[in-house]
């Protein structure tokens, strides 16, 4: 399933978060689509495909001391407009 994660971190943790970004490896079962920093917002965004809740924990837990991770399932708009509600 496709997910969008946005991670809001405390500016006082910038150096630690920067080092984590350099070293962090997504789990093998996760297909990373893209990672982005929101300039001037002390936040980052990742878009990825993950198969399980355990995969989500493997992604968010290492950063939990530095800020708050928000995750939402996502769907391409092209698919959503063809779906009947």
pTM passes above 0.95? no
**pLDDT single digits (tens) 9-53:** 988 998 999 999 899 999 999 999 999 999 988 899 999 999 999
**pLDDT single digits (tens) 54-65:** 999 999 999 999
Strand partners, 68: 8
Predicted confidence at residue 84, as pLDDT, reads 78
Q: What is the CATH number of domain 2-80?
A: 3.30.70.1060
| 69 neighbors 58 (Cβ within 8 angstroms) | no
pLDDT tier for residue 83 given thresholds of 50, 70 and 90:
confident
Predicted confidence at residue 85, as pLDDT, reads 73
Cβ-defined contacts of 12-19 (< 8 Å, 24+): 13/65, 13/66, 13/67, 14/42, 16/66, 17/44, 17/63, 17/66, 17/67
| 16 neighbors 66 (Cβ within 8 angstroms) | yes
């Amino acid at each position: 399933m496709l997910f969008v994660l946005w991670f809001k971190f405390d500016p006082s943790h910038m150096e630690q978060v920067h080092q984590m970004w350099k070293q962090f490896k997504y789990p093998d079962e996760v297909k990373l689509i893209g990672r982005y920093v929101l300039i001037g917002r002390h936040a980052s965004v990742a878009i990825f495909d993950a198969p399980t809740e355990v995969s989500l924990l493997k992604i968010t837990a290492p950063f939990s001391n530095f800020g708050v991770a928000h995750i939402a399932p996502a769907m391409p708009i092209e698919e959503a407009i063809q779906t009947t509600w």
